[in-house]
Chain A
Amino acid sequence: MSAFNRDAVERRVLGALRPLVIVLLLVICLFPFYYMALLSFRPLDAVIQDPGALWPKAGEIDLGTYRDVLASTDDGGQGFLNFIKNSFIVAIGTVVLTLLVAIPGAYAVSRLDFFGRRQISAVFLGVYFFPAILLAIPLFVFFTRIGQRGTLVGLLVVYVAQVAAVSIYMLRNYFDTIPASLEEAAAIDGCTRLQAMRHVSLPLAMPAIASNALFIFMIAWNEFLFALLFLLEKRPNWTVSLGLSQLSGGIEVPTTVLMAGSVILTVPIIALFFLSERWLAGGLTAGAEKG
């Protein structure tokens, strides 16, 4: 009888707790982003006078912050338009170059039997777990020495090296799920190995490649440490992340203007994320379920 009571009590408590927990989780996940957008629309003195306001008062909305943050420094702004351009160049460049080397690489690791194949996968995966700061030291020294520190190209090369390994790991797992018999059929029809890869396996792997591309884009767009180390002295080459972090350290730029910068930094990522959420969530765990 007491077991029955315990069961009923637990059910009632958990039933009441569950919606509460969900609401609480939603608040901690969403509120910071809502607050970010809110501050970017409110004038600074209004924020200081009434820091607790959770929505803008009537007539308070001010889009001037976005103009200030986007305009070039010559026009009295913060030059974020330029930072956005840099971020896009680096992020898209990283995606394209990484896929160019990682797709053939992943295919080779998945399909072709060559000496050292397994060791290569293991070494590549190891890169993922290495302290970035350890890698940062020699790369900083090296690029300083060859005079390429401060260029977007230098940063791009480093990014590709960092994500290629993970990208190969993710794509390989997908290639493994494509039945080899499809390629065999192509081989019997006279395709060479490379033709079979191009015309059979690659089109089938398109969903995985697309989600991988988004994943790489997000990593490159969000990256901070290497951008800081490489580009700090070259303001025209700053990425959005670096620009925001550098300007928020000082007191010259109002917080509300920087919040507009944060929104600009975050919106592309959140938009991409919601567009592709189903693929990405699958991609993130795809490697884990096997091990």
Chain B
Amino acid sequence: MTTGGPAGQTATALEAPTPAPQGRRSRPVKGSRARDDRRTGYLLISPTVIIVFAMVVLPILWTVSLAFQHVRLINLRQTGVIGDYSLDNFTNVLTSPGFVDALVTTLVYSVGGTACAIGLGLVAALALRRPFRGRGLVRACMLLPYVAPVVAATFVWTTMLNPQFGVVNHYGASLLGWDDPIAFLSSSDPISPFGIDLHISMSLFTVVLFEGWRSFPFAFLFITARMQAIPESLEEAGTVDGATPSQRFFHIVLPQLLPTIAVLTVLRFIWTFNNFDDIYLLTGGASGTQVVAVRVYDYLINRSDIGAAAAQALVLAAILAVLVTVYLKFFGRSEDVA
């Protein structure tokens, strides 16, 4: 993300044609105008800075402080900025049973969810590429899973996937001949397609697919926007040279989409990695779906162990930062070469 490229240009363009100095004052008017601008700028931005500083930046710093102290909700009033700092929370958290599992689950969920979302988004963008009557409406419908409230979406899916009276299991049994209803959201049995054990529970598989369903519209929007910018003449030239549709896709369209897909991968990965709502609402973190965010919530609310919750949240943020940095390093380089 570049910040302030075009903004910088407009601002300098704004100052250039200010009227020439005409007063007796030694300072040119241009300087005073710039000074006024600076003052107005601070004035206009300060409400946002104050609220973001108070409600975002300070709390983050406070989390760091909390993570190094023994804080529970009961002894909250006694802890201040100066407390007994120790690494206990981190050692306890990192060695506690289930933390590594939660991390692995988070990774599987993020990678799987991101891949599903982008894959489905790409398919949808390609399918809706050529105009037809009613395409605008179809496109709008594609965005519904993304804009719908998460609580309503998870509730209707849990009902649909219910083993007793869910519509999916009903048709699975009557049309596809399933012997037993599948407990999509409460089964911790590992799924093993073609006899290969993937160490992924049925529930985790389901929440990954749900994540793909809910966020593919985001990928679809971005990819569609990028696709519209590809000049038609490129593909026409390909057709004239005898390229088949799949060749045109792989050699003309896909290379143009790759930078967009790379950005999408980062965005979706970050948001899925941090996601709390979907898994909490679908499974509550049970049957092999406990991601770190849900675990943090569990420590904060059910165990009232604020220090341990803060330590885990910090570890989560740190791992995310490392992963994104590594990814950007690799991708930035390969794109330069290409």
State in angstroms the CA–CA spacing of A216 and B281 once bound together. Answer: 22
Q: Which of B48, B54, B142, B167 counts the most A-chain CB atoms under 10 A from its CB?
A: B48
Residue on B nearest A249 in the bound complex, by CB:
B284
List B contacts of A52 (CB < 8 A): 167, 170-171, 174
Q: How far is the CB of B72 from chain A (nearest CB, A)?
A: 11
State in angstroms the CA–CA spacing of A21 and B40 once bound together. Answer: 54
Asked whether any CB of chain A lies closer than 8 Å to the CB of B99, the reply is no
Please count the residue pairs between chain A and chain B whose beta carbons lie under 8 angstroms apart in the complex.
311
Q: Is the CB of B138 within 8 A of A26?
A: yes
List B contacts of A117 (CB < 8 A): 4, 7, 41
List A contacts of B34 (CB < 8 A): 113
State in angstroms the CA–CA spacing of A130 and B37 once bound together. Answer: 32
Asked whether any CB of chain B lies closer than 8 Å to the CB of A205, the reply is no
Asked whether any CB of chain B lies closer than 8 Å to the CB of A224, the reply is yes
Asked whether any CB of chain A lies closer than 8 Å to the CB of B145, the reply is yes
Asked, given contacts A39-B159, A168-B48, whether A33 binds B148 with beta carbons under 8 Å apart, the answer is: yes
Asked whether any CB of chain B lies closer than 8 Å to the CB of A70, the reply is no
List B contacts of A176 (CB < 8 A): 6-7, 10
* Dominant secondary structure at the B interface: helix
Asked whether any CB of chain A lies closer than 8 Å to the CB of B225, the reply is yes
Asked whether any CB of chain B lies closer than 8 Å to the CB of A85, the reply is no
Q: Which of B123-131, B184-192, B199-207, B326-334 contacts A (4 or more CB under 8 A)?
A: B123-131
Residue on A nearest B145 in the bound complex, by CB:
A29
List A contacts of B213 (CB < 8 A): 28
The contact size tier of chain A is 35 or more
A residues contacting B by CB (< 8 A) are: 3-4, 6-7, 10-11, 14, 18, 21-22, 25-26, 28-30, 32-33, 35-36, 39, 47-48, 51-52, 54, 100-102, 104-105, 107-115, 117-118, 120-125, 127, 129-142, 144-145, 157-158, 160-162, 164-165, 168, 172, 176, 180, 183-184, 187-188, 193-194, 218, 221-222, 224-225, 229, 240-242, 244-245, 248, 255, 258-259, 262-263, 265-266, 269-270, 273-274, 277, 281, 284-285, 288-291
Instruction: Name 18 A/B residue pairs within 8 A (Cβ), A-sorted.
Output: A18-B130, A35-B159, A35-B167, A48-B165, A104-B47, A105-B49, A112-B37, A132-B274, A133-B297, A137-B63, A137-B66, A137-B296, A141-B306, A160-B55, A176-B10, A224-B277, A258-B155, A270-B147
